[in-house]
Structure 1
Amino acid sequence: MTVAVVTGAGSGIGRAIALGLAEAGHRVAAADLDAESAEATAARHGLITAHRVDVADPAAVTALRDEVLGALGAPRVLVNAAGWDRTAPFLDGTPDFAAKVVAINYLGPVHLCQAFLPPMIDAGEGGRVVTIASDAGRVGSSGETVYAGAKGGVIALSKSLAREMARHRISVNCVCPGPTDTPLFHAQPEKLKEALIRAIPFRRLARPDEVAAAALFFASDAASFITGQVLSVSGGLTMAG
């Protein structure tokens, strides 16, 4: 039975991915900053265990790696789904805010990949890395400039890492959601939420399970010859080339 690690698994897209991987037969380490939320995810399926991690803290990520390796073994799937943002004009931002956005959304996946890729390589069975980026990182997003920059960085990181990991039979791909029915979206100002929904050709938000489906595809054998790719799940809001 293969092992999967999912960050941001306490709610929203991360929880949907963790549950989908467990349904597919993976033993899943569901990691989240909110330990109670991770426990709630684990309570939904017998193949899921809960773990607390602050992806912005390299020491916490190392501790998660040691915990997962000791309890479950080396993962074959790593999903970076943890993310955070707050909508505000760029010129109203502060250095502390920018540092937090970058630490979670960009450096978080860096830390996770640096921690889990070596044991994945040593296991010699190949693997899958899937990172939840954002269409903000492909086409920009007003009020989310630093976030968009961080997510754009994640896309470039994934493409470069895909080149380095190919010789180890480890694929690296990105899923870019548009507006999705998650706690992060509902924390945004009401007028912004309404405007985004109106702008989506399908006239509705994505469901977390719809975004999870793309991540599950990249994590599956169906995507065995796909790496360095970016897939938008946005209901047509963005149609980037």
Structure 2
Amino acid sequence: MLQSNALVVDTSIFMRGYIREILQQELEFNKIHEAEDADDAFQVLKSERAINWIFSSLEMPGLLSPLDLMETTRNGPNSTRTRFILMSSNEELVTREIAIREGVSDYLCKPFAPDQLVSTVHRLVGLAKRRDAERFKAALSCEINIGFDSFHHYGAKLADISMTGCRIKTSQVKPDSGYVDDYATVTLLLKNGSPFDVQAKIKRVEFSESCTDPLSNTEVAVEFVNVIPSLKEKLEAFICHVSGAERHNS
């Protein structure tokens, strides 16, 4: 994983080695630092400015706590790019809620399997890509189709789109439908009328009480997946067609 510089903070040398192996073997992090507690981690951060991933245990001795460490990263030069994953053996919901309230990027309950750590990193990388992608507002009225299987296809209006995903508005996909994290096929039309399909993953489904159009009262956010080069060309052409000259950043 290009330019992935990690700091692993845990009192257990076994746990640090376990995480290091996953980051190196499964995720190809190019540099990994270790610290026994938050005090040692603070010293590492002072000398290693390029660290952009921190995996820290919640339970550890020392004058500084992991949350103090996270506050330090917020004030650092890479504050907007540093992901902070908090790890804890405490399964209580209140612990997770505190972590989320304090602004950690994600929370893992120990012990965790390698694929849990891998999926967490991939999710955060995907989130960053979607946020950074230039998003184009649909300047033209654009009807699209979203399908989940042979029997469930729904019409929708395109709100905006980027090379990594889009937001659509519909009344046919309900917030309680259970589609979040499901995969779907989004069908788009090129300027010449030729349809093409993009595989996508549903990231969010939200009902808008303020929407006055009963046919567009639910917003669905999707992330495009498996965008091969030939499909990328079609997607670029479609974005150029529907956006006109209007664009804004996501």
Q: Same fold (TM over 0.5)?
A: no
Higher relative contact order (CA 8 A, sep 6+): 1
Query: TM-score under structure 2 normalisation?
Result: 0.41
Higher share of residues assigned strand: 2
Query: TM-score under structure 1 normalisation?
Result: 0.42
